[in-house]
Chains A and B, each alone.
Chain A
């Protein structure tokens, strides 16, 4: 059964800290790994990763994939209170287009 595990489940940091969120996966086939940010209800797309070792970057957020060790990390530098959200990791198996999601990491950034 395809599975995605995220860690930590939750964490609290202070503004300006750097955080690293982890995502490991087990899938029969692999097409891509995606990161989403969920603040209120709608998850918003952050990154899609398909190749190992190539960092994707957007402002203070960056992500990288390791297809050999089957994990990805999402880094957020100089955190702000607006980064407080649930961060979801999902894998797209090759055979279908449905996403398999992890339970998410709840990030709270204190001012």
Chain B
């Protein structure tokens, strides 16, 4: 596609439910990133995939959060047993992966998650 596509754009769920957020990166981009943006705060890194390498999960806040990337393209971020503090906008980005300008990250419009 022309840009990074995320779905759903909005998700309202009840505390304790599991949610899945989807990201479809720009075609040809080997690197994919997930960030979280809470109200009034900057983007917080969650996880990074690069090609077939093991993902960098260092930003995941708890073991309730997981992500996978199938076939080197689409990625799914799963939050189990959601809590109210998980409410935020979840942004996905992709890049060509490489040096300098090849690493510019392009963002999707995000999924706004509200946990009631």
**A residues near B, CB below 8 A?**
4, 6, 31-32, 34, 36, 40-45, 48, 50, 88, 90, 92, 96-104
| Residue pair A50, B59 in contact (C-beta under 8 Å) | no
Tell me the minimal C-beta distance from B81 to chain A in angstroms. Answer: 26
**The one of A36, A40, A96, A104 that contacts B109, using a Cβ cutoff of 8 Å:** A40
**The one of A40, A50, A103 that contacts B42, using a Cβ cutoff of 8 Å:** A103
Which of chain A's residues has its CB closest to B45's CB? A98
B91 contacts the other chain (Cβ, under 8 Å)? yes
| Residue pair A100, B100 in contact (C-beta under 8 Å) | no
Tell me the minimal C-beta distance from A47 to chain B in angstroms. Answer: 10
B65 contacts the other chain (Cβ, under 8 Å)? no
| Residue pair B106, A99 in contact (C-beta under 8 Å) | no
Which of chain B's residues has its CB closest to A50's CB? B100
B103 contacts the other chain (Cβ, under 8 Å)? yes
Residue among B56, B58, B105, B109 with the most chain A CB within 10 A? B105
Which residues of the other chain, B, contact A102 by a CB distance below 8 angstroms? 42
Contact A98-B42, Cβ < 8 Å, known A42-B110, A48-B101:
no
Which residues of the other chain, B, contact A90 by a CB distance below 8 angstroms? 43
5 A-B pairs (CB sep. < 8 Å): A34-B105, A42-B109, A43-B91, A48-B104, A101-B35
| Residue pair A97, B31 in contact (C-beta under 8 Å) | yes
Which residues of the other chain, A, contact B41 by a CB distance below 8 angstroms? 103
Tell me the minimal C-beta distance from A66 to chain B in angstroms. Answer: 19
A24–B50 Cα distance when bound, in Å, is: 28
Which residues of the other chain, A, contact B44 by a CB distance below 8 angstroms? 101
Which of chain A's residues has its CB closest to B44's CB? A101
| Residue pair A100, B45 in contact (C-beta under 8 Å) | yes
Which residues of the other chain, A, contact B43 by a CB distance below 8 angstroms? 43, 88, 90, 99, 101
Which residues of the other chain, B, contact A92 by a CB distance below 8 angstroms? 103
| Residue pair B104, A98 in contact (C-beta under 8 Å) | no
Which residues of the other chain, B, contact A99 by a CB distance below 8 angstroms? 33, 35, 43, 45, 105
Which residues of the other chain, A, contact B95 by a CB distance below 8 angstroms? 97
